[in-house]
Chain A
Amino acid sequence: DQQVKQNSPSLSVQEGRISILNCDYTNSMFDYFLWYKKYPAEGPTFLISISSIKDKNEDGRFTVFLNKSAKHLSLHIVPSQPGDSAVYFCAARRSQGNLIFGKGTKLSVKP
């Protein structure tokens, strides 16, 4: 039973445009959500996070939106750059709990 779902395995975007990566979750007890970025042959690296008491968090070109009523979060990358091409994992946790990861979305940003 997947508690964190990333339903799009891949996404292709033109350089300079917006990339929107989506994530849905089923457990209403999750209180913290994170996005990780992973390049081939490397470990995931932390990108941005959001607490369940907020609906938006911004860090440079990256913004995460949280819609608790819909149990949905999204990562917006504006503008997209070729170096953003990677697999993006959504993760969630309950208080004091371990991270639960989605399957990932492979983003390709074309020059």
Chain B
Amino acid sequence: NAGVTQTPKFRILKIGQSMTLQCTQDMNHNYMYWYRQDPGMGLKLIYYSVGAGITDKGEVPNGYNVSRSTTEDFPLRLELAAPSQTSVYFCASSYSAEYGYTFGSGTRLTVV
């Protein structure tokens, strides 16, 4: 059972470039989340989804977009990358809001 899988693990982007961070889960969880963690800071919610076709903004959504066409996949799109988006990105999933989250191993993104 793979759990939550994130790709790539590392990426360096130039300012203004775009990329998609991939996240897939095989636990048939309805809820999926994207968090970012900056050095010395907690995890901040970017976007979340309560099911296929439904997404909503979290605390820090600016500069990002998401889609949820299937239960398994929840990609995070960065358009026009900026240095402020240098961070570690974590995808997570849960069966419902009452359950704890299962996290992926993260994507470390550097924008130069």
Q: Which of A46, A97, A100 contacts B100 (CB 8 A)?
A: A46
**A41-B106, A89-B42 given as contacts; is B90 within 8 A of A96 (CB)?**
no
Main secondary structure of the interface of A (DSSP, over half): loop
Residues of B21-75 at the interface with A, using a CB-CB cut-off of 8 Å, are: 33, 35, 40-45, 48, 58
Q: Which of A45, A46, A101 contacts B43 (CB 8 A)?
A: A101
19 A-B pairs with C-beta separation under 8 A: A6-B42, A34-B100, A41-B105, A41-B106, A42-B105, A43-B90, A43-B92, A43-B105, A43-B106, A44-B101, A44-B103, A45-B103, A46-B102, A98-B45, A98-B58, A98-B97, A100-B45, A101-B43, A103-B41
Q: Could you list which residues of chain A lie within 8 angstroms of chain B, going by C-beta atoms? A: 4, 6, 9, 32, 34, 36, 41-46, 49, 89, 93, 95-104
Q: Could you list which residues of chain B lie within 8 angstroms of chain A, going by C-beta atoms? A: 4, 33, 35, 40-45, 48, 58, 90, 92, 97-98, 100-106
